[in-house]
Structure 1
Amino acid sequence: MRAMTMAILLGMTAGAALAKPHLRDVPEIDGTILAVGIADEIRNNCPSISARMVKAVLLVNGLKGRARDLGYSDDEIDAYRKSDVEKSRLLAKRVAYFAAAGVQSDAPETYCLLGQAEIEKESQIGALLRMN
C-alpha cells in the first residue's frame, strides 16, 4: 500500500513538473505582447513617432513560432491571443505603465516624451518606434 501511494505521489509530482505555465506566465511571450501594445499606443498618440511596422510584424509572427518551440499548441496560443480576460489584463498593465511614466491621455506630448525615451534607451518598446 505504501509503495502504491509513493508511486501515485511521484507520478503526480512528475506530471506537475512537466505542466507548462499559462502563456501569460511566460515573460518572453507576455512581455513582448505588452511591449508591442505599448509601442502601438505611443505611435497612435504621438504625431512625431511612427512604428517600425516590418519589425513589429516579424516580432509578433515570431512569437507564435517561439510559443510552439516551448511546447504550446496552436489552440493554446490562439486561446491566449483571443482571450478577453488576457486582453483586459494586458490593457490594465499598459495603463499602469503609462501612469507610472507620467503619460496623460489628454496630452500627446507625454506619449512623445515616453516614446523618445524608449527609443533612446533602445528598449524593446523603443526598437518598435522611430522618430518621424
Structure 2
Amino acid sequence: MKLFPLTLAALMFAVPAFALGPINQEKTINDTLRSGFIADQIADTCPTLQPRKLRALNELLKLRDYALRLGYSAAEVRAFVENPAEKARGKAEAAAWLASKGAVPGKVAAYCAAGEAEIARGSIVGYLLRSTR
C-alpha cells in the first residue's frame, strides 16, 4: 500500500502522454500554420501587402513552444513542420480558404481584399501582413 500513492501520481502524469494525438491533428497547431500559409499566399500575390517576417518567426517559435508544452518532442515537431506532404496539405487548405473568399489564381485584387479584411479584423492572418497602401 505504500507504493499506491506513488503509482497513482506516476499514472496521473503519464495519462496526458497517452492521450496525445498525432501532431497533424492538433487543432491549434494546424489553425495557426494554416493562417501562416494563407498570409504567405496573400503576400506572394498582392503587391500592396507585405509579410511581417519577424512576427511570423515569433509565431512559429510560440507554436513550437506550445507543441513542446503539450508533450510533443522536438523531433516530432521538426518532422511535422518539414514534412512535404504536410506542407502540401497546409497550402491546399490555405488555397481553399482563400477561394472561399473569392481569392483564386488570376484575381490579384481578391487576394488584396482578403488580406486587407484580415488586417482590419485583427486576425492572425492580418497580424502577419503589412499594408503598403
Partners of 2:55 and 2:16 lie apart in 1 by: 37
SS at match of 1:103: coil
Partners of 2:113 and 2:15 lie apart in 1 by: 48
Aligned partner of 2:71: which letter? G
Q: How does 1:1-132 map to 2 (within 5 A)?
A: 18-132=18-132
Q: What is the number of residues matched between the two proteins?
A: 120
SS at match of 1:50: strand
The normalised TM-score by structure 2 is 0.82
Alpha-carbon RMSD: 2.0
In structure 2, the gaps of 5 or more residues are 1-13
SS at match of 2:21: coil
SS at match of 2:113: helix
SS at match of 1:125: helix
In structure 1, the gaps of 5 or more residues are 1-13
Identical-pair percentage: 33
Partners of 1:84 and 1:24 lie apart in 2 by: 13
Aligned partner of 2:67: which letter? A
Contact 2:38 2:95 in 1 (8 A): no
Cα shift at 1:64: 1.2
The normalised TM-score by structure 1 is 0.82
Q: Which residue of 2 aligns with 1:7?
A: none
